[in-house]
């Protein structure tokens, strides 16, 4: 038999969680409320929200997790380095529809490196600010388990923002909505 006070506590907890569903109000990840701040991308007029508890990945960790000389310019990471959001500004201009073509090229490159890779959810849509964005997901396999990965190509007015997100596969449901909100709310001041 369920106790009435437990039901009330459950409803109160759900009510509290429903108050925190945006980057502006914070979002619960499991039982932890994650808050976000609007930050400026270095040397640009691009603004985006990032999780407050994240830090810039230290170079020692970056060199291990991203050993390629083509590693992302900026990598923000959770304190345990398991959840990562990475960015590059690409100094190119794109026409409408080009994000989808570039996304397809990224997918092809990944498949060439790993033919067993399965690309999921290729999507092209418009951000809240009217910019074209294309993205896709894939599952990565590592020594320490599987990861959920998403690649973004975001056409801005004067540049292109390339975004990379990854987390342990078991954390996907906690972060899927968050990472989408982050990229859908990127702004570029002119």
Q: Model-level pTM greater than 0.85? A: yes
Q: What are phi and psi of 93, to 5 degrees?
A: -105, 145
Statement: residue 136 has pLDDT above 80: yes
For the stretch 31-46, pLDDT in tens is: 899 999 999 999 999 9
pLDDT band of 16, cuts 50, 70, 90: confident
C-alpha to C-alpha distance for 156 and 173, rounded to whole angstroms: 28
Assess whether pLDDT exceeds 80 at residue 129. yes
Whether the CB-CB separation of 87 and 41 falls below 8 Å is answered with yes
Which of 66 and 126 is assigned the larger pLDDT?
126
* Exposure string for 101-140, b = 16+ CB within 10 A, e = fewer: ebbeebbeebeeeeeeeebeeeeeeebeeebbbbbbbbee
The mean per-residue pLDDT over the stretch 129-135 comes to 95
User: What's the pLDDT band for 8 if we cut at 50, 70, 90?
Assistant: low
Phi-psi label, residue 38: left if phi above 0, alpha if psi -120 to 50, beta otherwise: beta
Q: Which two tokens stand for residue 150?
A: 């998403």
The confidence score (pLDDT) of residue 4 equals: 67
At the top level of CATH, the class of 55-188 is: alpha beta
- Tell whether the model's pLDDT for residue 2 goes beyond 70: no
pLDDT confidence bin for 112, thresholds 50/70/90: very high
How far is Cα 118 from Cα 25, in angstroms, rounded to an integer? 35
């Amino acid at each position: 038999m369920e106790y009435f006070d437990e039901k009330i506590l459950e409803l109160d907890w759900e009510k509290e969680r429903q108050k925190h569903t945006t980057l502006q109000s914070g979002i619960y990840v499991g039982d932890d409320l994650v808050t976000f701040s609007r930050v400026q991308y270095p040397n640009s007029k691009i603004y985006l929200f990032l999780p407050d508890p994240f830090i810039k990945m230290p170079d020692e960790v970056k060199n291990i997790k991203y050993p390629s000389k083509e590693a992302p310019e900026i990598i923000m990471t959770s304190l345990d380095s398991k959840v990562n959001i990475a960015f590059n500004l690409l100094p190119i201009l794109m026409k409408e529809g080009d994000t989808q073509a570039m996304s397809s090229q990224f997918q092809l490159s990944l498949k060439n490196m790993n033919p067993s890779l399965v690309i999921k959810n290729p999507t092209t849509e418009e951000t809240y600010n009217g910019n074209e964005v294309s993205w896709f997901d894939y599952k990565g396999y590592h020594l320490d388990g599987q990861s959920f990965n998403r690649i973004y190509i975001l056409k801005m007015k004067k540049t292109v923002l390339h975004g990379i997100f990854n987390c342990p596969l078991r954390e996907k449901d906690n972060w899927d909505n968050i990472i989408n909100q982050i990229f859908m709310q990127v702004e570029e001041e002119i």
